Amino acid sequence: MSTIVTPYTDHRMAEIADKVRNGVRLSLEDGVYLYETDDLLTLGQLANEVNLRKNGKKVYFIENMSLYFTNVCESHCAFCNFRKDQGEEGAYTLSGQEMIEYVEQHIHPGVREFHIVGGHNNHVPFQYYVDSLKALNERFPDVTLKAYTAAEIEFFTRISGLSTKEVLEELRKAGLKTLTGGGAEILSDQYRQKMKVDKANVDQYLDVHRTAHQLGMKTHTTMLYGAIESHEDRIRHMIQIRDLQDETGGFLVFIPLSMQPKSKNASIMRRNSAYEDLKTIAISRLMLDNFDHIKAYFINIGPQLTQVALSFGASDVHGTILKERISHAAGALTPEGLTRKELVWLIKGAGRIPVERDTFYNEIKVYE
């Protein structure tokens, strides 16, 4: 496919377009330039070209549920409004049986994945987290357990005294199949210090995923953008993820997460613009040439912008979710979940082909 660039495309953008067409990897300087250009249409066209080359018009989604065993957390990240202190009003820690009862009240036929994250609750032992997965796996053996962030895994090593490999092996025995992508935020220790991200540092985040990949696991990874980071910080984040993917090939998808304000009443000036969201998705597609999928996360950017993002490099819209809590605790204005029918409508409305998948992107059903 030949990219049609806009008439006012400058020389630098034309050079980048040539790189993209010829499979030449983009540099840090290229990525920063793409953030600085106002040529959004050419950027989107390039990202769309790459995505169509990789995935055609197929766009993927999954029937899943988001589960949160506990919101008690020792960390105090500046952007988080989900966490609570032990004993604080609204704090909770569910047992495996309590979570099973919750799932039985809300699950519906077709759910293939439990997406499980939560607080770093140091008032319970590591065995609690193992038993939580074991209980779900025994009651719902056909549902894939996608559980815990790399930051949670690092936290488990501290409360258990086990190595990263040993923690992952214990969780796998309990039914863990893959890690979620959260906890990355921006992979810059300076950023993490300023934003009070007092959990896994950059090297620890990357090492958890590296270790999981070495054990044969496929995992997910994210970038939370829209706070104090620079454009260069975002591109360096992508390059570090790209380098690890070169090394292991273990990532399934990259998920740019648009940061939400702490209040639903926050003005539009406290939110990322649609322009910035589309740019970030498109740039992710161009920088991460060794990733099959870039996700447009409707929880953060909304269903309609998600439709547009499917022409800006995204090939996945996540899933049904059912009662997402973390982004909504921070002020997201979007739905807490969508039905299968709504996701199919959303994708078809963007001129794409909906594909229901499992956790590992095996195709379950194509909605022609």
**Is the residue at 27 inside a domain?**
no
Tell me if 187 sits within 8 A of 236, measured CB to CB. yes
Does residue 80 have a known ligand-binding role? yes
Report the domain count for the chain. Answer: 1
Please tell me the distance from the alpha carbon of residue 160 to that of residue 127, in angstroms, as a whole number. Answer: 8
Beta strands in 198-302 (DSSP E): 219-225, 251-258
**Distance from C-alpha of 200 to C-alpha of 207, rounded to nearest angstrom:** 10
85, amino acid identity: D
Which SS3 state, helix, strand or coil, does residue 175 take? coil
pLDDT of 36 over the 90 cut: yes
Residue 19 domain-assigned (yes or no): no
Average pLDDT over residues 85-102: 89
Q: Is residue 8 domain-resident?
A: no
pLDDT at 6: 64
- Cα-based angle 364, 352, 238 (whole degrees, multiple of 5): 85
Q: What is the CA radius of gyration of the chain?
A: 20
Is 152 marked as binding a ligand?
no
Predicted confidence (pLDDT) at residue 328 exceeds the cutoff of 50: no
**CA–CA gap between residue 37 and residue 233 (Å, rounded):** 17
Buried b (16+ CB within 10 A) or exposed e, 93-113: bbebeebbebbeeebeeebbb
Q: What is the pLDDT of residues 280-317, one digit of tens each?
A: 999 999 999 999 999 999 888 989 999 999 999 999 99
Long-range Cβ contact pairs of 189-192 (< 8 A, separation 24 or more): 191/227, 191/228, 191/229, 191/233
Does the residue 23 lie in any domain?
A: no
342 is in an annotated binding site: no
**pLDDT (tens digit per residue) in 183-235:** 999 999 999 999 888 889 999 999 999 999 999 999 999 999 998 999 999 99
Residue 333 lies in a domain: yes
What is the residue range of 96's domain? Answer: 39-364
Q: Do the Cβ atoms of 327 and 354 come closer than 8 Å?
A: no
The mean pLDDT of the chain is: 90
Is residue 28 included in any domain, yes or no?
no
Does residue 30 sit within a domain? no
Q: Tell me what the mean pLDDT of segment 338-349 comes to.
A: 91
CA angle 186, 187, 188 (to 5 degrees): 95
**Residue 140 within a domain:** yes
And the tokens for 210?
Answer: 């590296």
Most distant pair of Cα atoms in the chain: their distance: 61
CATH code for the domain of 83: 3.20.20.70
Residue 330 has pLDDT above 50, yes or no: no
What residue has token string 């706070």?
227
Q: Is 156 assigned a ligand-binding role in the annotation?
A: no
Known binding residue 232? Answer is no
Give 76 or 294, the one with higher predicted confidence: 294
Cα–Cα distance, 171 to 175 (Å, whole number) = 7
Computed from CA positions of residues 343, 345, 351, 353, in that sequence, does the dihedral angle turn out positive or negative? Answer: positive
Q: Which residues contact 345 (CB under 8 A, 6 or more apart)?
A: none
The rounded distance, in Å, linking the Cα atoms of 150 and 202 is 10
Question: Which has the higher per-residue pLDDT, 312 or 96?
Answer: 312
pLDDT above 90 coverage of the chain, percent: 70
